[in-house]
């Protein structure tokens, strides 16, 4: 078993976002170039190297849903905002989840706007790992516009999944907008389905959002829950 999973088992926790990114990158899934800062000064140095605008997120083995406790800051455009965002994130965590362990603050350059999609894995007790695909925003939250397939999946299975989504036109050429890179989505779903089979210790994967462009796609938030943890 991967040392990263062994450590998580020992500490009885899920994967942190940076650990999830490492696993995704290992399997060829596109992620942002990121760094973790342990102080305001280090965050400013990292931000200067990365460039702006930036996203900053808390890194904690005890926090999976960062937005709920003020653990994410976006649209950061200069060093003073980096310093203030770092301070605010740490304060928010200590206020809202005082028992949480803090590993630092993750920084990456904010991805340009594109079409947001969701890819996930749910390990069903009867059918095993099942992959899910849907469009982001209202399509998932309100319309529940998602499709499922039991792993493993082939390219044809994924093409059928995409065709089932009511909002598929958002990914196609529409009113002068270029079509999104469907092959990039297919590749991510293929790799995630393989990953779920390789690592049975993973209970659930949530890649939300994945931002898709005319060429390419990138995962900008990743959660991985492990199957001996009650979530």
User: Could you tell me the CATH number of the domain that includes residue 75?
Assistant: 3.30.1490.20
Q: Is residue 19 part of a domain?
A: no
Q: Is residue 25 part of a domain?
A: no
Give the global pTM: 0.94
Give the span between the Cα atoms of 43 and 48, in whole angstroms. Answer: 9
Predicted confidence (pLDDT) at residue 219 exceeds the cutoff of 80: yes
Please say which residue of 91, 109, 127 terminates a domain.
109
Encode pLDDT of 47-71 as tens digits. Answer: 999 999 999 999 999 999 999 999 9
Report the pLDDT value the prediction gives residue 231, as an integer from 0 to 100: 46
Please say which residue of 49, 83, 109 terminates a domain.
109
Encode pLDDT of 100-126 as tens digits. Answer: 999 999 999 999 999 999 999 999 889
Give the span between the Cα atoms of 62 and 101, in whole angstroms. Answer: 6
Tokens 């890649």 identify what position? 207
Q: Is residue 17 part of a domain?
A: no
Give the span between the Cα atoms of 66 and 58, in whole angstroms. Answer: 7
Give the chain's largest Cα–Cα span: 53
Range of the domain at 119: 115-226
Over pLDDT 90: what percentage of the chain?
Answer: 82
Report the pLDDT value the prediction gives residue 142, as an integer from 0 to 100: 76
Region 183-208 average pLDDT = 96
192 and 220 together in one domain: yes
Two tokens, residue 145: 């516009």
Please say which residue of 60, 81, 109 terminates a domain.
109
> Do 214 and 183 touch, CB atoms closer than 8 A?
no
Number of domains in the chain: 2
Encode pLDDT of 170-186 as tens digits. Answer: 898 777 788 999 999 99
Task: Say which residue, 93 or 126, is predicted with more confidence.
Answer: 93
């Amino acid at each position: 078993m991967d040392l990263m999973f062994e450590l998580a088992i020992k500490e009885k926790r899920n994967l942190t976002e940076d650990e999830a990114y490492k696993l995704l990158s290992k399997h060829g899934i596109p992620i942002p170039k990121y760094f973790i800062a342990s102080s305001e000064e280090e965050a400013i140095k990292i931000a200067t190297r990365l460039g702006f605008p930036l996203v900053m997120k808390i890194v904690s083995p005890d926090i999976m849903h960062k937005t709920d406790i003020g653990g994410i800051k976006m649209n950061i455009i200069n060093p003073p905002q980096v310093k203030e965002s770092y301070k605010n994130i740490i304060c928010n965590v200590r206020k809202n989840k005082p028992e949480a362990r803090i590993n630092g603050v993750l920084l990456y350059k904010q991805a340009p706007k594109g079409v947001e999609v969701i890819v996930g894995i749910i390990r069903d007790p009867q059918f095993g790992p099942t992959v899910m695909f849907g469009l982001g925003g209202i399509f998932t939250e309100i319309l529940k516009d998602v499709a499922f397939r039991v792993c493993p999946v082939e390219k044809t299975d994924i093409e059928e999944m995409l065709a089932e989504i009511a909002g598929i036109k958002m990914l196609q050429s529409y009113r002068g907008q270029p079509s999104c890179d469907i092959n990039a989505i297919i590749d991510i779903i293929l790799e995630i389905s393989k990953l779920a089979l390789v690592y049975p210790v993973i209970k659930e994967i949530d890649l939300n959002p994945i931002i898709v462009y005319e060429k390419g796609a990138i995962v900008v938030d990743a959660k991985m829950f492990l199957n001996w943890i009650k979530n």
